[in-house]
């Protein structure tokens, strides 16, 4: 009887560790990611070499990095101060344009839906962003309209910023990450 209880306990522990470790790897990418300030890179995805964990994560939440050589995807769920992004607050996303043929910046809610302007725009990109004489830009991320580069965010609750760099030299070299814009919390109730 004691042997059966020991065997049962070992099986339950093994099952718990197996499911827990799989969930840890599927819930968010922990392998192949880099951090630049508040930004976390998504690992590049190649259909032929993607691990089962990567495939499961993509199937579960749809968070997908770009293919090798196409570009890089970065996400942020917090500001540079380490606080979670909150739709009740205003944020300044400021810096110089990363080296890329095109970049896009979008804010999504917990279900992955992009916030939209009354005119239907969901993103700010390098083609339309206003810059100063030195090439620096500031995008104001806020729930209500702001002058200049305004990125709509979901009102209330947390959100995620996604920055995609298309055709960037950094995609070819993992040791050469781009300089990314800072995320600074401004007005917050």
Render each residue's pLDDT in the chain as its tens digit; 189 residues: 888 888 888 888 888 887 776 666 655 555 556 778 899 886 665 556 666 666 666 665 555 556 566 788 888 999 999 999 999 999 999 999 888 889 999 999 887 888 887 778 899 999 999 999 888 999 999 999 999 999 999 988 899 999 998 888 766 555 667 889 999 999 887
Nearest to 38 by CA among 189, 188, 185, 153: 185
Q: What number of residues does the chain have?
A: 189
**What's the CATH superfamily of 31-185?**
Domain of unknown function DUF1214, C-terminal domain (2.60.120.600)
Query: Residue 184 and residue 79: Cα distance in Å, rounded?
Result: 6
Domain boundaries, the chain: 31-185
Query: With b meaning 16 or more CB within 10 Å and e meaning fewer, what string describes 119-144?
Result: eeeebbebeebeeeeeeebbbbbbbe
């Amino acid at each position: 009887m004691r042997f059966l209880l020991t065997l049962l306990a070992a099986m339950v522990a093994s099952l718990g560790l197996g499911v827990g470790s799989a969930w840890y790897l599927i819930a968010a990418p922990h392998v192949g990611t880099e951090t630049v300030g508040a930004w976390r890179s998504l690992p590049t995805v190649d259909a032929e070499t993607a691990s089962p964990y990567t495939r499961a994560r993509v199937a579960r939440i749809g968070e997908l990095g770009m293919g090798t050589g196409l570009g890089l995807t970065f996400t942020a769920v917090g500001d540079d101060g380490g606080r979670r992004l909150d739709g009740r607050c205003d944020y300044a996303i400021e810096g110089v344009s990363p080296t890329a043929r095109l970049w896009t910046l979008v804010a999504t809610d917990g279900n992955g839906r992009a916030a939209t302007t009354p005119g239907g725009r969901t993103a700010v990109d390098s083609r339309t962003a206003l810059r100063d004489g030195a090439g620096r830009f500031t995008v104001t991320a806020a729930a209500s309209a702001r002058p200049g580069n305004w990125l709509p965010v979901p009102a209330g609750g947390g959100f995620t910023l996604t920055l995609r760099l298309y055709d960037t030299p950094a995609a070819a070299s993992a040791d050469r990450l781009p300089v990314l814009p800072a995320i600074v919390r401004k007005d917050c109730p």
